[in-house]
Amino acid sequence: MLMEIKAFNEGRARFALWTALEADILHRSPDEEARKAADDHLGLMTPVLKGVLTDRGFDNAVKAQQVFGGHGYVGEYGMDQFVRDARIAMIYEGANGIQALDLVGRKLPRDGGRAITAFFKKVGDCVKEKREATRR
């Protein structure tokens, strides 16, 4: 269970950093095409980041609390506060159902699906590159 939490947290950090890098490109790049691609990425990934990371953050906090057994519910270790904080983060980021509606209703079809198509291409190219690298 702890390795699952750790693996998710490491992936989460990289996903958030990738999106933060795209925000820097959007605000600082002199290249109009790069800014447009970064804007597409941010528009597509913002509701995903908010929804997935808060949902899984809460789930992982509950799992970590279970590792402590009955002591996870005792304030001495602070796990109970982590669970409460993770739960409230889901509310602070906006109802995750609303984020999902925003993604499906507005972000996916925007500009003929340009953002999601570019995302799938980027991921597909990465998978192809890694697959070829392992064959060498």
SS3 94: coil
Where helices occur in the chain by DSSP H, the ranges are 2-28, 32-67, 79-92, 96-102, 114-135
Say if CB 46 and CB 52 are below 8 A apart.
no
CA–CA gap between residue 103 and residue 90 (Å, rounded):
16
Find, among 52, 82, 87, 53, the residue nearest to 66 by Cα: 82
SS3 78: coil
Q: Is 132 part of the annotated catalytic residue set?
A: no
Residue among 76, 93, 129, 132 flagged as catalytic: 93
Say if CB 22 and CB 35 are below 8 A apart.
no
SS3 75: coil
Residues annotated as catalytic (active site), given as ranges: 93
